[in-house]
Structure formats: C-alpha cells, structure tokens
C-alpha cells in the first residue's frame, strides 16, 4: 500500500457519525429497462425523497434529452433540503449540460476496467487518467461539488484504480465513488478493496453496488464497514438490469443490525416505496424485504402463535418502524391462535369447540385450493356460531361484463343484501372499472360505502399472469378497510376483493354499534 502523501488523515482513521444516503432512483432507477418518467412524476418523486430525508438526490443525466434537463432544472429550483446532483460523462458537453441545469453538484464518471477501456472507450490508461483529471478540474472551475466515479471499479486493476482516484482527488474531487457496475463483487472482496482505497484517499468514499448476484446491499454494507461513508441506493432497489442496492434494505440493516445512523425517516419507507412503484410502474415482489406485501404477513399457525405472544418471535423489525401493519391470513397453515386473533380483531369470541370447527372448516377449504378472505372467515364463523350477524352482508349473486373494441365496457351486477336483490349496471373505462363502479353504486345506496383506493399488481409474467388486487373502501364515519385477492382473472379477483372489503367494513360497523350500545 502506498499512503497518499498529500493527505494527513485517510478514510481508515475517520469516525463516521452518520451514513450518507445518495439516492439514484431518478437516474440509475430510471435506467430500469422499460421505465421512463415524465417531468411531473420526476418532481413528485424528488419531493418524496426529500421528505424521507435522503442526503442527496441524483435527479438524472442532463445530457440525455431536453426534457430530462428541464425536469432536473425544475427539481433544482425547489430549493430542497437534499442536495441535487446530475450525472455527466467526463466530456465537456455532459458537464455543460449539467451546469445549464443550475446544478451545484455533478457526478462525473469514466470506466477504469480493462474490458471497458478496450471495448467501450477505446482508450489507454493514460488517456483515462487525463480525461478524469480534466473533467474534475473543469467542473471544479465552475464552482460545483464533484463526485468522481471509476465505472466498473471492482473489475479494474487495483493499482490503476487507486492511481485514478488519487489523481481525481488531487484535481479537486470532493468525493470518490466505487461502482460495482455489474454486481460482480463479493462482500469479502469489497472489504479488502475499500480498506485499501480508504487508506490512500482522504475525501469521503461512496459505494455504488448493483444486484446482479443479489449482493448489492451486503456489498454496500461491507464498503461502509471498511471505510466508505455513503451509499448510492434506489427505492425498491430498481436500476439497470437486476437493479441497485435498495434504500429500504440498506437503511434498515444499518439501523437495526449495524447500529449506524442515517437521516432517513424510516416510518415513511413503505409509503415512499408504494409511491415510486406506482409512479414508475414497477411492481414490488411480494416477498421483498421491508416493503414487499408479505414482509409483515403471517399464516402459519406456529408463527402466528408466536407473534401473538410476542411479535419479536417472528418479526425482526416492528412493522410500525417502516410505516406498516402486520396482518394475519387464514389458510391451511393457520392455527387456532391465528384464527382466534383474526376474529378477535372484529370482537368475535368463539368457544374452544367453535374455534376448533372454524379452523377445520377453513383448512378444508384451503386444502381444495381456495384462498379464504376475511369476510369468508367471518361468514364461516357466523355459521358455526349460529350468529347471522357475522354473515356476509352483501352476497354476490352474479355479474357479467361486456367489453371489446368500439364498445363501452359495461358491467351488470346482482347483489343480495338486506333480504333483497339489487341489480344495477355501470359503464367504465374498462371491465374492472365498470364492475367496481356497479358494486359501488349499490354499496353507496345501501350503506354509504365508497372505494378509496384500488391497486393491481401482476405477481407472475405472461398472458396467464397471476394478478393481485387490493381494494380499500371507506364509509361515512371514516372507517377504512382493505382487502386483497389474487387470481388469474383480473376482473374476478377485483370483484372478489371489493366484495370482501365491503363485507369487512359492514361487520366493523355492526360491531362498533354493538359496542356503543353496551
């Protein structure tokens, strides 16, 4: 190792109080195949990122288009708390485009691996160094903060990489960044690499890790533990190919497992994830850590039993810490404790015998492949307990929908409630819209219940993709209830989720009025 003669203190000696979060959702995240967000959405996402407390927002790559540059300029003009940064290659046109956006912070990069220099840049090591020095110097002469990245750093010759970073530092770079561009590194490799870079460099070091082998978060953390003070991350881990290190996983691991702090308001993680997922049209897989739908859901009897006694048994993070709620699910793995707790949520207290029968009945249904909604569980319980109060208040009798080209999608719905049938029809922008509007028409008329939110996710790919629908409904007294349903037919799943939500809110109302009367 050669110690940087210029610096008195290298990164190995520094005590880092808070880990800096550099969010690149709007740059690397937008490079996710098939994703493009307009200026209005970019601004909305930037405002959310500022609200959640990221230290820096990489708002985009100014030179790529006029629209991109205009969107970045608008974000800069907001005067947000987060620093706003723009990406530029080490060429004048890119840096000028960034300066024209009024950016005060430029992230400039050039590749340093043999494979990139030979097959992409067609440049020698000397030419790469000259270009890096020129770009940092040029940007610094314009009075901006400069972060310098050596693209494909983890596949670069180690001595050459350190030389490039030292030269960038001498040219005035305020920060250097170590990209694991193709997600090739392992945590051990990163530890060793970052320790050596930290020994030679005194300006702060960032990590920029991709997830091609699923190591992005682990590599970012290894970098932090070896002397880096910042990580480039994205909401939901979106980004080129397999994506970047996910902000929510990185931050929660730092806070909970490594006792390190960030400025992130963790309670806003879930809503930010949902917001970005909707704005960018990228679905979050259900089993994704922290923000996946199932991350705080429990079905197995053993687990729900533990959770009920003490949530720490099966929840390493309490859901509220990341803005979420735990939920229990009926099903074949569910046990008496879980079902009892689910019913208890509605104030329903079956006897031991009744509970046994309820559990067996719902397990039998699950065994034949039926996924049981909460309203169905309540209805089963009502039937077994001889209490019609718990029965589904709205029963779907039948529905049909006409849709196609040059035809207005129209749904006809027949529901049974309060001892009589209601038939109604509605038109909509599509089959789901017309069906939900028709159900809502009856729900509003009978009980003043309206849809508040509808969300559709595709769980699998292909034309036979499994869809997951979630519907939130509200009533006049401010009760809000949500229900989820998955199935291959989007319309049927949507109708079932809507019916479940309406029945759940009806039951809530009944139990509330019972409590008020006692």
Q: Which does 42 bind (CB under 5 to 8 A by kind): ligand KIV, Zn ion, none?
A: none
**Of the residues 19, 25, 28, 277, which one makes contact with Zn ion according to CB under 5 A:** 28
Smallest distance, ligand KIV to C-beta of residue 480, A: 40
- Quick one: tokens of 362? 């719902």
Instruction: Based on the shown chain and the rule CB under 5 A, indicate whether residue 211 belongs to the binding site for Zn ion.
Output: no
281 in Cβ contact with 335 (< 8 Å):
no
- For residue 294, give every residue at least 6 positions away whose Cβ sits within 8 Å of its Cβ, in sequence order, or none: 286, 287
- Quick one: tokens of 483? 């229900």
Query: Which of 111/449 has CB closer to ligand KIV?
Result: 111
Query: How many residues touch Zn ion (CB under 5 A)?
Result: 1
Smallest distance, ligand KIV to C-beta of residue 234, A: 10
Q: Which does 109 bind (CB under 5 to 8 A by kind): Zn ion, ligand KIV, none?
A: ligand KIV
In this chain, which residue has its C-beta nearest to Zn ion? 28
Instruction: Based on the shown chain and the rule CB under 5 A, indicate whether residue 293 belongs to the binding site for Zn ion.
Output: no
By the criterion CB under 6 A, which residues form the site for ligand KIV?
28, 109, 149, 151, 179, 181, 208, 210
Smallest distance, ligand KIV to C-beta of residue 183, A: 9
- Of 112, 49, 42, nearest to 82 by C-alpha is 49
Smallest distance, ligand KIV to C-beta of residue 97, A: 15
How far apart CA 207 and CA 225 sit, in angstroms, is: 11
Per CB under 5 A, the segment of 26-34, 195-203, 327-335, 464-472 that binds Zn ion is 26-34
Angle between helices 158-170 and 187-200 (to 10 degrees): 40
- Quick one: tokens of 235? 């909401």
Smallest distance, ligand KIV to C-beta of residue 344, A: 50
Q: Which does 393 bind (CB under 5 to 8 A by kind): Zn ion, ligand KIV, none?
A: none
- Of 470, 75, 59, 25, nearest to 276 by C-alpha is 25
Query: Which of 276/497 has CB closer to Zn ion?
Result: 276
Strand 410-417 and strand 420-427: pairing? antiparallel
Query: Which of 28/299 has CB closer to Zn ion?
Result: 28
Q: Which does 89 bind (CB under 5 to 8 A by kind): Zn ion, ligand KIV, none?
A: none
Per CB under 5 A, the segment of 21-29, 156-164, 296-304, 486-494 that binds Zn ion is 21-29
Smallest distance, ligand KIV to C-beta of residue 79, A: 26
Query: Which of 242/456 has CB closer to Zn ion?
Result: 242
- Of 381, 370, 379, 427, nearest to 401 by C-alpha is 427
Smallest distance, Zn ion to C-beta of residue 413, A: 49
Torsion of CA 89, 94, 95, 101, to 10 degrees: -130
Q: Which does 149 bind (CB under 5 to 8 A by kind): Zn ion, ligand KIV, none?
A: ligand KIV
- Quick one: tokens of 382? 């009502």
**DSSP code of 422?**
E
- Quick one: tokens of 72? 């970045």
Per CB under 5 A, the segment of 23-31, 357-365, 454-462, 490-498 that binds Zn ion is 23-31
Query: Which of 244/482 has CB closer to Zn ion?
Result: 244
Q: Which does 288 bind (CB under 5 to 8 A by kind): Zn ion, ligand KIV, none?
A: none
Q: Which does 305 bind (CB under 5 to 8 A by kind): ligand KIV, Zn ion, none?
A: none
Smallest distance, ligand KIV to C-beta of residue 24, A: 7
Classify residue 383 by burial, with Cβ atoms within 10 Å: 0-12, 13-18, 19+.
middle
**DSSP code of 63?**
G
Query: Which of 22/296 has CB closer to ligand KIV?
Result: 22
**Bridge-partner residues for 286, per DSSP?**
none
Query: Which of 234/374 has CB closer to Zn ion?
Result: 234
DSSP annotation string for 262-291:
-S--GGGHHHHHHHHHHHHT-PPPTT-TTT
Query: Which of 28/50 has CB closer to Zn ion?
Result: 28
- Quick one: tokens of 62? 């100014």
Smallest distance, ligand KIV to C-beta of residue 28, A: 5
DSSP annotation string for 430-498:
SHHHHHHHHHHHHHHHHH--EEEEEEEEESS-STTPPEEEEEEEE-TTS-EEEEEEEES-HHHHHHHHH
% helix, strand, coil for the chain, step of 5: 45, 20, 35
Query: Which of 61/270 has CB closer to ligand KIV?
Result: 61
Smallest distance, ligand KIV to C-beta of residue 217, A: 15
Query: Which of 232/485 has CB closer to ligand KIV?
Result: 232
Instruction: Based on the shown chain and the rule CB under 5 A, indicate whether residue 174 belongs to the binding site for Zn ion.
Output: no
Smallest distance, ligand KIV to C-beta of residue 242, A: 12
Distances from the Cα of 378 to the Cα of 357, 361, 487, angstroms: 13, 12, 21
Binding positions for Zn ion, rule: CB under 5 A:
28
């Amino acid at each position: 190792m050669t110690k940087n003669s210029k610096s008195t203190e290298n990164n190995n000696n520094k005590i880092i109080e808070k880990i800096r979060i550099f969010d690149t959702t709007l740059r690397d995240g937008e490079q996710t195949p098939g994703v493009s967000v307009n200026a209005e959405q970019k601004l909305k996402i930037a405002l959310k990122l500022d609200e959640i407390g990221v230290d820096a927002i990489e708002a985009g790559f100014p030179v790529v288009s006029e629209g991109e540059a205009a969107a970045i300029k608008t974000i800069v003009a907001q005067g947000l708390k987060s620093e706003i940064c723009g990406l530029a290659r080490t060429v004048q046109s890119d840096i000028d485009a960034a300066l024209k956006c009024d950016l005060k912070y430029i992230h400039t990069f050039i590749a340093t691996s043999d494979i990139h220099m030979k097959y992409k840049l067609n440049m020698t090591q000397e030419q790469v160094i000259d270009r890096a020095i020129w770009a940092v110097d040029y940007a610094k002469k314009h009075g901006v903060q400069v972060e310098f990245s050596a693209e494909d750093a983890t596949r670069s010759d180690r001595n050459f990489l350190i030389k490039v970073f030292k030269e960038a530092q001498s040219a005035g770079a305020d920060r250097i960044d170590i990209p694991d561009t193709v997600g090739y590194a392992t945590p051990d490799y990163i530890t060793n690499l970052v320790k050596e870079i930290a020994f030679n460099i005194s300006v702060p070091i960032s990590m920029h890790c991709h997830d091609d082998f699923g190591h992005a978060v682990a590599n970012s953390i290894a970098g932090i533990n070896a002397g880096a003070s910042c990580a480039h991350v994205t909401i939901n881990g979106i980004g080129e190919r397999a994506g970047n290190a996910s902000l929510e996983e990185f931050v929660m691991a730092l806070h909970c497992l490594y006792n390190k702090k960030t400025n992130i308001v963790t309670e806003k993680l879930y809503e930010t994830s949902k917001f970005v997922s909707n704005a960018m049209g990228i679905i979050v897989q259900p089993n994704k850590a922290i923000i996946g739908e199932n991350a705080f859901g429990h079905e197995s009897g053993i687990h729900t039993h533990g959770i009920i006694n003490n949530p720490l048994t099966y929840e390493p993070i309490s859901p509220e810490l990341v803005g979420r709620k735990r939920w229990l699910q009926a099903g074949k793995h569910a046990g008496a404790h879980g079902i009892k707790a689910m019913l208890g949520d509605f104030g329903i207290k079956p006897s031991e015998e009744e509970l046994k029968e309820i559990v067996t009945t719902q397990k039998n249904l699950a065994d034949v492949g039926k996924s049981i909604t909460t309203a169905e569980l309540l209805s089963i319980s009502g039937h077994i307990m001889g209490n019609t109060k718990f029965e589904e208040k709205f029963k779907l009798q039948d529905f049909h929908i006409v849709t196609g080209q040059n035809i207005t999608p129209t749904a006809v719905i027949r529901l049974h409630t309060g001892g009589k049938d209601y038939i109604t029809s509605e038109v909509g922008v599509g089959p789901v819209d017309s069906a939900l509007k028709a159900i809502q028409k009856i729900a509003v008329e009978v009980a003043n219940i309206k849809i508040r939110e509808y969300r559709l996710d595709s769980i699998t790919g292909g034309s036979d993709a499994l869809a997951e629908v979630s519907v939130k409904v509200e009533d006049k007294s401010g009760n809000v209830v949500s229900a989820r349903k998955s199935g291959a037919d989007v319309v049927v799943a949507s109708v079932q989720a809507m019916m479940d939500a309406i029945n759940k809110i009806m039951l809530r109302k009944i139990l509330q009025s019972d409590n008020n009367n006692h």
